[in-house]
Amino acid sequence: MSLKIAVMPGDGIGIEIVAEAVKILHHFKSSDRLDVEMSEAPVGGAGYDAAGKPLPDETLALARSSDAILFGAIGGPQYDGLARELRPERGLLALRAELELFANLRPAILYPQLADASSLKPEVVAGLDIMIVRELTGGIYFGEPRGIETDASGERRGFNTLVYKESEIDRISRVAFDIAMKRGKRLCSVDKANVLEVSELWREVVTKNASDYPDVELSHMYVDNAAMQLVKWPKQFDVMVTKNMFGDILSDTAAMLTGSIGMLPSASLDANSKGMYEPIHGSAPDIAGQDIANPLATILSLAMMLRYSLEQTALADEIDAAVGRVLDKGLRTADIMADGCKQVGTMEMGEAVLAELK
Ligand code: NAD
């Protein structure tokens, strides 16, 4: 049976960069290497324009019936004045919630060819390849009660609740162990167990699960130390797993070690490894429609889809290698341009990767 992929370009540069990844899917299909069907649907601002809401019913139905979703980016200044529930971001948040995409995979990879793009010394970051697994649907961002209230003296207090159930810790840690098995077999669980009871429970559940993965070397690190270690010697890490808020902060830190937002893919998975795959950047309205956006983060997101949802590791490896060869040849979009390289546009970069695959 054909694999079903929902294609959701969204807004701004989403349209241009997703088109380049779709060309690769068509190539694998037409050369009989992947039995796949693609259907496109509007989301974000495009969803609002088409159906009056950022996640139209047909788009959600398509997402539910697909094996994986290729997502571009959403947002744009023309939607900033809309009521909160109609804003493009709501479409993305609703998709994550409706599909229970609780595991956010954020690789921070620095191709050796781009080591100069980082703010850290090249020897500290060249060849960096970390995977951060962030819990995405629980923790302090969702815990109840929450709010701002005024006490009897008239002073206001704001409060949020950090809460994790054992089952939530269990499932996110198993995703991380499984990923570590497919990579360097080292997992670092990041918590604050010296201060937070939630973290105590987190550490206990992760440690218990380690016995099911005897090949994975498990370590624990407090989040403040993890932040320091990430900028001191990031190559010590293979896979990191952590709760929602710590992951939010650490994954952006790790992303910035690479210095190139246009290069970084991501995945959000449910309990059955169905997932949504998207670049970490936004819709970049400042450069939209000019054929200058870097499509590589989206192309690498497609590689993650092939690896984590579609069980097509060989095709994923091919894409990763093709991107490496294109960089070796000195082709660069404007965001990663360096001395001695050749500057190309979105389409030319996409075509160059496709040519390597052919
Ligand atoms: P952004 O990531 O869109 O852009 C930040 C900067 O990086 C801009 O200068 C942009 O030109 C550049 N950039 C981003 N992607 C690039 C690429 N592929 N190639 C070259 N340069 C690239 O963030 P922003 O400007 O803060 O937000 C713009 C819009 O995107 C907003 O509406 C925001 O809400 C939305 N947004 C969406 C997502 C998402 O869809 N997941 C994430 C972040 C922001």
pLDDT single digits (tens) 294-340: 999 999 999 999 999 999 999 999 999 999 999 999 999 999 998 89
- Alpha carbon distance 4, 157 (integer Å): 48
- Nearest-5° angle of CA 145, CA 171, CA 67? 105
Average pLDDT rounded to a whole number, residues 254-283: 91
Ligand 1 probe mutation, 87, 283, 323, most atoms within 8 A of CB: 283
Q: What is the pLDDT, as a whole number, of residue 7?
A: 98
Average pLDDT rounded to a whole number, residues 114-137: 90
Q: Is 73 in the pocket of ligand 1 (CB under 6 A)?
A: yes
Q: Give the closest residue to 338 by CA, choosing from 273, 283, 276, 259.
A: 259
Say how many Å lie between the CA of residue 284 and the centre of ligand 1: 4
**DSSP helix/strand/coil, 332:** strand
Q: What is the pLDDT, as a whole number, of residue 338?
A: 87
Average pLDDT rounded to a whole number, residues 18-44: 97
Q: Which atom of ligand 1 is nearest to the CA of 334?
A: 20
Ligand 1 probe mutation, 281, 292, 333, 349, most atoms within 8 A of CB: 281
**Domains delineated in the chain:** 1-102+270-358 (3.40.718.10), 118-263 (3.40.718.10)
- Flag whether pLDDT at 259 surpasses 80: no
The tokens for 238 are: 């293979």
Average pLDDT rounded to a whole number, residues 226-250: 96
Q: What is the pLDDT, as a whole number, of residue 127?
A: 85
Band of residue 261 on the pLDDT scale cut at 50, 70, 90: confident
Percent of the chain exceeding pLDDT 70 equals 100
Ranked by mean pLDDT, the top range of 166-175, 248-257, 333-342 is 166-175
Q: Give 187's strand partners.
A: 218, 239
pLDDT in tens, 207-218: 999 999 999 999
Q: Nearest C-alpha to atom 8 of ligand 1 is from which residue?
A: 284
Q: How much is the mean pLDDT over the chain? A: 95
Half-sphere exposure of 231 (CA within 13 A, CB side): 13
Say how many Å lie between the CA of residue 45 and the centre of ligand 1: 14
pLDDT in tens, 132-142: 999 999 999 88
- Flag whether pLDDT at 352 surpasses 90: yes
- Alpha carbon distance 105, 268 (integer Å): 6
Q: Nearest C-alpha to atom 23 of ligand 1 is from which residue?
A: 282
Percent of the chain exceeding pLDDT 90 equals 88
Q: What is the pLDDT, as a whole number, of residue 244?
A: 95
Phi and psi at residue 68, to the nearest 5°:
-160, 160
Q: Is 14 in the pocket of ligand 1 (CB under 6 A)?
A: no
Biggest CA–CA distance in the chain, Å, is 72
Q: Is 268 in the pocket of ligand 1 (CB under 6 A)?
A: no
Half-sphere exposure of 71 (CA within 13 A, CB side): 32
Band of residue 111 on the pLDDT scale cut at 50, 70, 90: confident
Phi and psi at residue 143, to the nearest 5°:
-65, 145
Q: Give the closest residue to 186 by CA, choosing from 170, 208, 204, 210.
A: 210
Residues forming the active site:
141, 192, 224, 248, 252
Band of residue 118 on the pLDDT scale cut at 50, 70, 90: confident
120 against 161, higher pLDDT: 161
CB 230 within 8 A of CB 188: no
Q: Which atom of ligand 1 is nearest to the CA of 297?
A: 18
Strands across the sheet with 275-279, in order? 36-40, 3-10, 68-73, 275-279, 265-269, 103-109, 129-135, 239-242, 186-191, 217-222
Q: Is 76 in the pocket of ligand 1 (CB under 6 A)?
A: yes
Say how many Å lie between the CA of residue 122 and the centre of ligand 1: 25
Q: Nearest C-alpha to atom 26 of ligand 1 is from which residue?
A: 282
Q: Which atom of ligand 1 is nearest to the CA of 10?
A: 40
The tokens for 42 are: 């509007």
Band of residue 104 on the pLDDT scale cut at 50, 70, 90: very high
Say how many Å lie between the CA of residue 287 and the centre of ligand 1: 9
Number of other CB atoms surrounding residue 261 within 10 Å: 17
